[in-house]
Amino acid sequence: MQYIQNNMKKIFVYLIVMMFIGCSNGNKNQIQVHTSIHELSVNKESDGYTNKPSKSSGYGLRYILQNQWGVGFYSNETTRTQSVDKLSKEIYDIEKNNVVDVSYTFGTKNLDYYLSLGYGLVISGSRTLDYSQITGLSAEIHKRPKLSEEVLTLSTAKRGGTSTMYDFGYQFGSSGIALNFGYRKQNAKYDQPANSISTSNFTTGNNSQYLIGLSLIY
């Protein structure tokens, strides 16, 4: 397991190469476009902190070969907010993730209906939080009073993350047009900025969404 974790990027590249090498003429190709429609993740509530509905804004592109291996890109921004009894404003937590993944599709010969399963890597991203909601960091507001915004921005530059997805599609007759319903979940680790006084080297974030999309089958 440790070996897999240490060589995840190499394994991921190997899967992409094998996907293209193994291409056959047995089925049809697909081009898919998705958009997120509902964010599922929320921040943990505590005394005096009440969650507001989370929001998601994202899109995905996927190309599926005739052998039903696919490669895709997904970009998403998740915004979670909470109202705080002792504050006059809502506090927020914004995650931005860009993902590259591979998938495999199980379906009928003509793809009348199908299920795609995928796994990917978070290749870039960031997380922006109010200082007031980060345990142990609120003191930075007082030690750095010239801050224009009471926020902390974290980056995935060194630590990255993973993403999983599944997607169900249904083709309208033999039209070559299919409707897709999907689910995605991202787990990412974010580095603290160099000028932070926090004792933590990173923080872990996660977000998950329902998606809807269209496919062109040819």
Q: What CATH number does residue 52 fall under?
A: 2.40.160.20
In the chain, the number of structural domains is 1
Using CA atoms, how far apart are residues 55 and 26, in angstroms rounded to an integer?
Answer: 40
Q: Which tokens hold the place of 29? A: 């190709």
Q: What is the pLDDT of residue 52?
A: 87
Q: What is the pLDDT of residue 51?
A: 84
Residues of the chain with pLDDT under 70: 1-26, 87-89, 130-159, 192-202
In the chain, the DSSP E strands lie at: 30-39, 49-51, 55-64, 69-84, 91-107, 113-130, 151-155, 161-171, 177-191, 202-217
Q: What is the pLDDT of residue 3?
A: 53
Q: How many CB atoms lie within 10 A of CB 91?
A: 21
Q: What is the pLDDT of residue 180?
A: 97
Q: What is the pLDDT of residue 171?
A: 95
Q: What is the pLDDT of residue 61?
A: 98
Is this structure's pTM higher than 0.85? Answer: no
Using CA atoms, how far apart are residues 200 and 140, in angstroms rounded to an integer?
Answer: 14
Residues spanned by the domain of 135 = 2-217
Please state the φ and ψ torsions of residue 55, each to the nearest 5 degrees.
-125, 150
Q: What is the pLDDT of residue 191?
A: 73
Q: Where are the alpha helices (DSSP H) in the chain?
A: 2-6, 8-21, 139-143
